[in-house]
Amino acid sequence: MKAILRSNAAQAILGWVLGTYFRIILRTVRWRHENLACVEPVLAGESGAIGLFWHGRVPLCLAMAPQWWRKRTRAFVSPSADGEFIAQALAMSGFPAIRVSSAKKGHAAKARQAVAAIREAVTWVAGGGALIVTPDGPRGPNEVIAPGALQIARRSGQPIFLVGIAANPALQLQSTWDRVMFAAPFGRGAVVWEGPLHVPPDADDAQIKALVEAWSARLSTATRRAEALVGRPPVDPRATG
């Protein structure tokens, strides 16, 4: 079964299905944006930007599309089988991918690929492009930022924006590591923006670690705020299902 699902044909079909779902949710859900003004100068200007939202809200991600369509925007996506059809779905919506993975210790080839992807991302953002990242993906832990996105911000000198997304009614799977949320058409949705946040150019590993902890909490707070705006009860993102 895994071999079938990972075939090019299956990935193309899954990508089309997900991309179609993205469009349906964008067009039928009544999306409300809070604090959108914080990102307007970047959207209207020539500087780059990095947008962070949690992996569990990937099915809702086109809620941000009308804003990011105003800039040249790409998405950071895992090179895994799951990442392949997500990348195809995002490409359907005008967001080509930069493929990256979190290399484990001892995986030299994956480490080289990760370094190359980060270099490509830094060049893209420094050149005025926007980059969308799920900073707890592709393996988690849920709602904990991995430091790669902050390193891109530090090296490019461009700002980070935190984006909390939620919808109601929606199906939230408790059995997946990221508590993935699928919105129902014709419901309510909320997008909460926060930023700009900057990583000091001379930030060392200790400072990056402190920012990871602080900004993870702030992104979760923005996500809980989005949930509150649509009337969803809060769920502990780190509780086991």
pLDDT one-digit tens code per residue, 161-186: 999 999 999 999 988 999 999 999 99
Class of domain 2-229 as given by CATH: alpha beta
Q: What is the dihedral of CA 205, 210, 216, 219, to 10 degrees?
A: -110
Lowest mean pLDDT among 37-46, 202-211, 229-238: 229-238
pLDDT one-digit tens code per residue, 86-132: 999 999 999 999 987 655 555 666 667 778 889 999 999 999 999 99
DSSP state of 67: H
- Domain positions in the chain are 2-229
* pLDDT score for 18: 94
CA distance linking residue 225 with residue 197, whole number of Å? 19
* Residue 191 near residue 34, CB atoms below 8 Å: yes
CA distance linking residue 186 with residue 101, whole number of Å? 35
Phi then psi dihedrals of residue 41, to 5 deg: -60, -35
Residues near 101 by beta carbon (within 8 Å), at least 6 away in sequence: 78, 79, 80, 110, 113, 114, 138
Mean pLDDT of the chain: 90
Instruction: Look up residue 120 and give its two tokens.
Output: 């490509």
For tokens 């400072």, the residue is: 207
SS3 at position 129 = coil
SS3 at position 234 = coil
Whole-model pTM?
0.91
Lowest mean pLDDT among 60-74, 128-142, 199-213, 218-232: 128-142
Instruction: Look up residue 92 and give its two tokens.
Output: 């359907």
SS percent in the chain: helix, strand, coil, step 5: 45, 20, 30
CA distance linking residue 227 with residue 166, whole number of Å? 5
